[in-house]
Amino acid sequence: MPTSIIEQHPLEPFLPHHAKLLLLGSFPPQRKRWSMNFFYPNFQNDMWRIMGLIFYEDPLHFVKGKRFDEVLVRQFCVDKGIALYDTAQAVIRQNNNASDKFLEVVTPVNLAHLLDRIPECNTIATTGQKSTEILFSILSEGPEFDQPQSMPTIGTFVTFLYNQRSFRLYRMPSTSRAYPKSLKEKAGDFAVVFSNSLNI
């Protein structure tokens, strides 16, 4: 049943000062689906399995029982210089679930404020169609951005300028298991971003 309850983002942006890469999703799932108090908390989401496969050749590297190891995940992001947040600051879940399809954005993220806090960042990667669409809307409406001419296809990037800084914007596949790509294929897409932004 459609709802009109506005949800504010439950997490603070995770912004290591030396971060080179900013990962942006759409919005966290409902808290009942969380297995840790951090980004991509749903145990059915494959983000941290993708990270484990790329960096440690082990998709279970960040798995602890039926949860993700939050301490290990946080330290990994600090060590690698990965910042995380989402493209929506406030939303309405029209279908009362985690599906991006029924996510109405009330307030988009203040992207300029995020980028000002991570001065070494030169790469942004959106995870999924919804987050990419929201980000492009932010870039098109913000006069401080020199917006890209077109939206990138999955696995590719476009460039844009902000405050005399040049950014690569990569569009990544969704890390949801509902997205029809294997874990290995998704890891291949993400590995390109990490190779170019973090020099792995």
Task: Report the alpha-carbon distance of residue 186 to residue 172 in Å, rounded.
Answer: 8
Looking at residue 188, what is its pLDDT?
A: 95
Domain 6-198 part of CATH 3.40.470.10: yes
4: part of which helix (H) or strand (E)? none
Looking at residue 146, what is its pLDDT?
A: 87
Classify residue 57 as exposed, middle or buried by CB count within 10 Å of its CB (0-12, 13-18, 19+).
Answer: exposed
Looking at residue 82, what is its pLDDT?
A: 97
Best CA proximity match to 161, nearest among 188, 122, 199 = 122
Amino acid in the structure at residue 175 = T
- The DSSP code sequence of 22-72 is EEEES-PPPGGGBSSSSSS-BTT--HHHHHHHHHHS-TTTTEETTEE-HHH
Q: Is 163 left (phi over 0), alpha (psi -120 to 50) or beta?
A: left
Residue pair 183/49 in contact (Cβ under 8 Å)? The answer is yes
Phi, psi at 88, each rounded to 5°: -115, 135
Looking at residue 161, what is its pLDDT?
A: 93
pLDDT along the chain (200 residues), means of 10: 81 97 95 95 96 97 97 98 97 73 89 97 94 92 84 92 93 90 94 84
**Domain layout of the chain by residue ranges:** 6-198
Looking at residue 98, what is its pLDDT?
A: 57
What tokens appear for 44 in the block?
Answer: 């059915």
Give me the residues paired with residue 107 across strands.
Answer: 90
